């Protein structure tokens, strides 16, 4: 079984990430338009545009570099999303729409909604919303602390 994520820069398709679960291998394929555009750039210096496809060996470190350095956060995300915390593709699959850098990693079922711009608006928070979010962050922080200091 192969999973895929679209890579976007703004609303521009950059390429796709694939994950072959049987082989436990991640791959990247650049979109041809992106690869040969005068204003494009590689998603990482270790993944040059000169090569259309890249394999697991160079992709894993790149994906892990997008994630927080705190192992407890990665562990907590693994539990939250019910995936292995040692699989960067599965973590990025859940947090890749809002990870470090200007790129988004989008699941197929979310692609049209992201590209449509429906989610581009801002919703003001009430004082109650803000208080709830701060309480949630405090709870998450306590849970992570429990993982670290066990």
Domain limits, the chain: 2-123
Query: What integer pLDDT is reported at residue 104 of this predicted model?
Result: 94
Band (pLDDT 50/70/90 cuts) for residue 149 is very low
- Tell me the pLDDT tens digit for each residue of 100-142: 778 999 999 988 888 877 766 677 889 998 888 888 777 666 5
**Terminal alpha carbon distance of the chain:** 36
Give CA–CA dist 93/106, Å, rounded.
Answer: 7
Residue 20: other Cβ atoms inside 10 A: 14
More confident site: 146 or 88: 88
pLDDT, the chain, mean: 88
More confident site: 32 or 70: 32
Band (pLDDT 50/70/90 cuts) for residue 144 is low
Q: Say if residue 34's pLDDT is above 70.
A: yes
* Contact of 27 with 120, CB cutoff 8 Å: no
User: Considering only 9-13, 70-74, 118-122, which range has the smallest mean pLDDT?
Assistant: 118-122
Give CA–CA dist 38/30, Å, rounded.
Answer: 14
> With pLDDT > 70 as the criterion, what percentage of the chain qualifies?
89
> With pLDDT > 90 as the criterion, what percentage of the chain qualifies?
63
């Amino acid at each position: 079984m192969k999973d895929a994520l679209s890579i976007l820069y703004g609303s521009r398709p950059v390429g796709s990430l694939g994950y072959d679960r049987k082989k436990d291998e991640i791959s990247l394929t650049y979109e041809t338009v992106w690869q040969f555009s005068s204003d494009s750039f590689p998603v990482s210096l270790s993944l040059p545009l000169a090569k259309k496809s890249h394999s697991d060996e160079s992709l894993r470190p790149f994906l892990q570099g997008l994630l927080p350095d705190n192992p407890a956060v990665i562990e907590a995300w693994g539990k939250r999303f019910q995936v292995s915390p040692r699989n960067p593709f599965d973590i990025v699959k859940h947090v890749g729409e809002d990870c470090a850098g200007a790129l988004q990693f989008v699941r197929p079922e979310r692609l049209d909604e992201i590209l449509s711009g429906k989610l581009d608006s801002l919703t003001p928070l009430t004082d109650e919303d803000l208080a709830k979010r701060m309480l949630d962050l405090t709870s998450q922080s306590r849970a992570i602390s429990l993982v670290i200091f066990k």
